[in-house]
Amino acid sequence: MHIYSEQETALKKSVALLKEAQQLTHIGNWEIDLDTEACLWSDEMYRIFGVSRKTYSPHFQKTLEHLVPEDRTWVEEVFQRSFHEGGNFQIYFRIERPSGEVREVHCIGNTDLNVPDVMRRAFGTIQDVTEQKRTQDALRDNERKFRALIENGGDIISIHDADGVMNYQSPSLKRWLGYEAEEVLGLPVGKFIHADYQEILHINYQAILAHPHTPVTFETAFRHKEGSWEYFECTGTNLLDDPTIGGIVFNARNITERKQVEEQLRHNALFDPLTSLSNRARLLDHLEHHLSFKLRHPESSYAVLFLDLDRFKVVNDSLGHHVGDLLLHHVARRLEQCVRTSDIVSRLGGDEFVVLMTDTHDLAEAISVADRILHDLARPFEVEGHEIFTSASIGVVLDEPVTSTPRYTNALSVLRDADAAMYRAKSSGKSRYEIFNEEIHAEALAQHHLENMLRKAVNLAQKGTTEFFLLHQPIVSLQTERIVGFESLVRWQQPERGLIPPNDFIPVAEETGLILPLGNWILAEACQHMRDWKLNCQSEELECLDFTLSINISGRQLSADHFAVQLATVLQETGLDPAALKIEITESALVENGEKALLALHECRKLGVKISLDDFGTGYSSLSYLHRFPIDLLKIDRSFINRLVQDADGLAIVSAIINLASSLNIEVVAEGVETREQQERLTELGCQYGQGYLWSRPIDKEASWALLVDSLCR
Ligand code: C2E
Ligand code: MG
Ligand code: MG
């Protein structure tokens, strides 16, 4: 039995420990005899090379063959240099195990030349670092990816310290804000933030500091190097306690474009795109605000000026929408100059503007502004080479200082009253202002009441029971005084109010659109009367002259869709000859309904229906309409016939109209002829036809028939 000495035991133990250590760290050691190039390997060396100690005897040249081909030459050179010159080396290379598996190794070597020749040897270690290398490579890869993300990504990444001093900025800073990272590092971020956002920054910074690891998101505006402001959505996370970061990490996304769109949307919601004035919504908002302010401060006051351009439609129709739009724009600028900057000038739409004057002291102040507006708008506008004259009608509401309850509690009522006052200004001559008062209030109420009654009456008429009826007034030949036709005139027998004349309810019907169903009823009823008369002629075997029936058509009817189709239908249903029918249109109806009216007139003409221009001389008095529109007949307004006898001017005008008409092959009817003198004068001037109390007031269907028979049989 072999007894180990104590030393032997210790040695064995340390050899075993060394083996274990080598196995754990994958380090093997080697030695090369420089004379024979034979190698001496530790166990771990065999494991690293994947060969067995039993079958493999290591030798330097043979070992080299285990290297991957690319590494063989240079590794051998390193070894040889060390063999000959001595000294240490450290290299990494790859070996290929017999199984084909490639391992990465770290080799440390040394050659000791300061020994006798027989002892010359090289020695060193080889560590299998394959796993380590893989992890390192993966880490490096990751790091590269993150860097690429941060440096090329859309967001700006920055790291601040607890005081907001910037310690890191990703290169994308340059792209969004124009700064190189170095220009801002070391500076507090607050230096670059817009004044409006300082408070937000401060509050959010406190929140970030108070809650580590919790992302906090907020918006901010950062100054671009060029001076503009860029908006960012920032998310900050407090990683001050994270040793690798040690700061607050911010991720900032540029949202300038989104902000601009939002701003645009907000602007669109509150401002009129054409004039850039406040729109209706913004006006109402401010008005509401003032109403509630007045509730709390009854001693305060405000004024509302409701403004509508006079004859804007004429500009639009004659010069085109483009010029119309430009005019509105210019009007807006002038209005702004008439008021204080604290007042709100708004456009409700179309040619309606409203000025809200806040803190008005008295009525005189509101009136002086209205005066100034009227005065300033009276100066011509220069639009695309056109000199345009315009004016406005203004309705004023003043909510004066009161001690008791305020007059208005709702913005819409203020506007409604200002509108009513404007309406009054319009109907009493335009280019003026009117202050809302009790009378206008009563009138507006009455108007409202009338509107309701009219709606009911029109409904009833459509169902067959009607409060409306037609009268007819004959039109006669001035020379023979024979009846050449009738004009149908509508009447309204209102059960409570009695007989209401058309001048009182036709404008309301036009405004409300009720004229469309009412007009249809009138058209059908008139044609029915005409057909009955024609049938009477046949049954009584009267040698019927071709008398015609004239029906008044409002502009609104003409510009509605399919007017001519409706007309054709009624003609067909009643079997009337279209040549027996005339439609009467006023100048203003033509002007205000533009191209659509013109088109409808041409269609009516195609049907064979003739067209009369009613009340000629009262509206726009532009003789050019006679050329532009297809007119067969012209009715001189009764105001001219009135002046015919007493006043030379009246005579001249009527004479001129008649001459012009005859040169255009247009027939002329004089309206409102009441005296023989008028009749004679008109005949002298060459006017063919007349209509008026001189021959007959408007009379009902039966009376009209009797008159017709009388006239025919004379
Ligand atoms: P208009 O079409 O110019 O009709 C002529 C108006 O002058 C009628 O008034 C008639 O009664 C009146 N008149 C006729 N001769 C004389 C006269 O010698 N002296 C005086 N002072 N007046 C005379 P009316 O019936 O009150 O109609 C007023 C207006 O209402 C009409 O003016 C017309 O614009 C409109 N209107 C009447 N009926 C209708 C209708 O069925 N549809 C439409 N859209 N409008 C109608
Ligand atoms: Mg008429
Ligand atoms: Mg007339």
- Distance, CA of 387 to CA of 379 (rounded, Å): 10
- Whether residues 202 and 250 share a domain: the answer is yes
Is the per-residue pLDDT at 46 higher than 70?
Answer: yes
Instruction: Decide: 440 in ligand 1 pocket, CB within 6 A.
Output: no
Q: How many angstroms separate the alpha carbon of residue 673 from the centre of ligand 3?
A: 12
Distance, CA 677 to ligand 1 centroid (Å)? 22
Residue 299 has pLDDT above 90, yes or no: no
In a domain, 6, yes or no: no
Q: How confident is the model at residue 557 (pLDDT cuts 50, 70, 90)?
A: very high
Which regions of 389-497 does DSSP assign to beta strands (E)?
A: 392-399, 433-435, 468-477, 483-494
Q: 411: closest CA among 281, 250, 246, 579?
A: 281
* pLDDT band, very low/low/confident/very high, at 632 (cuts 50, 70, 90): very high
CA distances from 561 to 508, 555, 556 (A): 20, 12, 10
Residue 456's domain spans which residues? Answer: 452-712
User: Is the residue at 10 inside a domain?
Assistant: no
Q: Is 502 in the pocket of ligand 1 (CB under 6 A)?
A: yes
Per-residue pLDDT tens for 49-74? 999 999 999 999 999 999 999 999 99
Q: Give the number of C-alpha atoms closer than 13 A to the C-alpha of residue 59, restricted to the C-beta side.
A: 8
Residue 407: both structure tokens together: 């007059």
Q: What is the pLDDT at residue 1?
A: 52
Helix/strand/coil percentages in the chain, nearest 5 = 50, 25, 25
Kind and range of the H or E element at 71?
helix 69-85
Q: How far is the CA of 249 from the centre of ligand 1 (A)?
A: 84
**What's the CATH number where 76 sits?**
3.30.450.20
289 and 395 both lie in a single domain: yes
Q: What is the per-residue pLDDT across 178-221, written as a single tens digit (0 to 9) for each? A: 999 999 999 999 999 999 999 999 999 999 999 999 999 999 99
Q: For residue 239, with 0-12 CB atoms within 10 Å meaning exposed, 13-18 middle and 19 or more buried, which class applies? A: middle
* Residues 126-147: tens digit of each pLDDT: 999 999 989 998 889 888 888 7
Report phi then psi at 451, rounded to 5: -60, -45
User: Does residue 535 lie in a domain region?
Assistant: yes
Are residues 475 and 621 both part of a single domain? yes
Give residue 619's pLDDT: 61
Q: What pLDDT is stored for residue 77 in this prediction?
A: 94
Q: How many Cα atoms sit within 13 Å of 600 on the Cβ side?
A: 25
Distance CA 561, CA 90 (A): 98
- Does residue 445 fall inside a structural domain? no
Please tell me if the CB atom of residue 632 comes closer than 6 angstroms to any atom of ligand 1: no
pLDDT of the residue at 209: 95
Residue 361: is its pLDDT beyond 80?
no
Question: CA-to-CA distance for 183 and 173, rounded, in angstroms?
Answer: 10
Does the Cβ of 490 fall within 6 Å of ligand 1?
A: yes
Q: What distance in angstroms lies between residue 523's CA and the mean position of ligand 1's atoms?
A: 16
Give me ligand 1 centre to Cα 489, in Å.
6
Measured from the alpha carbon of residue 691, the closest ligand is 1
pLDDT digits (tens, 9 = 90+) for 311-340: 898 888 888 899 999 999 999 999 999 999
Which of 108, 135, 162 is at the close of a domain?
135
User: How confident is the model at residue 264, as a pLDDT?
Assistant: 80
Tell me: pLDDT of 224 over 80. Answer: yes
Cα–Cα dist 706/714, whole Å: 12
pLDDT band at 403 (very low <50, low <70, confident <90, very high): low
Tokens representing residue 489 in the block: 């005139």
pLDDT score recorded for residue 357: 93
Q: Is 473 in the pocket of ligand 1 (CB under 6 A)?
A: yes
- pLDDT band, very low/low/confident/very high, at 404 (cuts 50, 70, 90): low
Domain check: are 125 and 199 in the same one? no
Q: Is the pLDDT reported for residue 154 higher than 90?
A: no
Q: Which of 235, 260, 285 is the last residue of a domain?
A: 260
Most informative mutation of 473, 525, 552, 584 for ligand 1 (most atoms within 8 A of CB): 552
Mean pLDDT on 589-609:
88
Are residue 333 and residue 421 in the same domain, yes or no? yes
Position 366, amino acid: A
Residue 472 in any domain: the answer is yes
Query: Ligand 1, closest atom to CA 510?
Result: 44
Domain membership flag for residue 11: no
Residues 341 and 283 grouped into a single domain: yes
**Under 8 Å between Cβ of 345 and 353:** yes
Question: How much distance in Å is there from the Cα of 493 to the middle of ligand 3?
Answer: 22
Choice among 90-94, 262-266, 382-386 with the minimum mean pLDDT = 262-266
Verify whether ligand 1 is closer than 6 Å to residue 501 (CB atom).
Answer: yes
Of these ranges, 53-57, 343-347, 613-617, the one predicted with the greatest mean pLDDT is: 343-347
Q: Under DSSP, is residue 608 helix (H, G, I), strand (E, B) or coil?
A: coil
In a domain, 8, yes or no: no
CA 466–ligand 3 middle distance (angstroms) = 25
State whether 286 and 413 are in the same domain.
yes
Ligand 1 neighbourhood includes 619 CB (under 6 angstroms): no
The mean pLDDT value of the chain amounts to 90
pLDDT for the residue numbered 356: 96
Are 220 and 176 part of one and the same domain?
yes
Which amino acid makes up residue 646?
A: Q
* Proportion of the chain above pLDDT 90, given as a percent: 64
With tokens 């039109």, the residue in question is 475
Ligand that lies nearest to the alpha carbon of residue 696, given by its number in the listed order: 1
CA 660 – ligand 1 centroid, Å: 25
| 101 and 201 part of one domain | no
Token pair recorded at residue 254: 């540029």
Whether 7 is in a domain gets the answer no
Model confidence at 463, pLDDT cuts 50, 70, 90, reads: confident
Q: Is 614 in the pocket of ligand 1 (CB under 6 A)?
A: yes
Query: By percentage, how much of the chain surpasses pLDDT 70?
Result: 97
pLDDT, position 577? 92
CA distance 400 to 282: 23
Strand partners, 39: 32
Single residue among 376, 401, 436 that ends a domain in this structure: 436
- Number of domains into which the chain is organized: 4
Q: State the closest ligand 1 atom to the C-alpha of 635, by its place in the atom list counted from 1.
A: 3
Q: Are 395 and 378 in contact (CB under 8 A)?
A: no
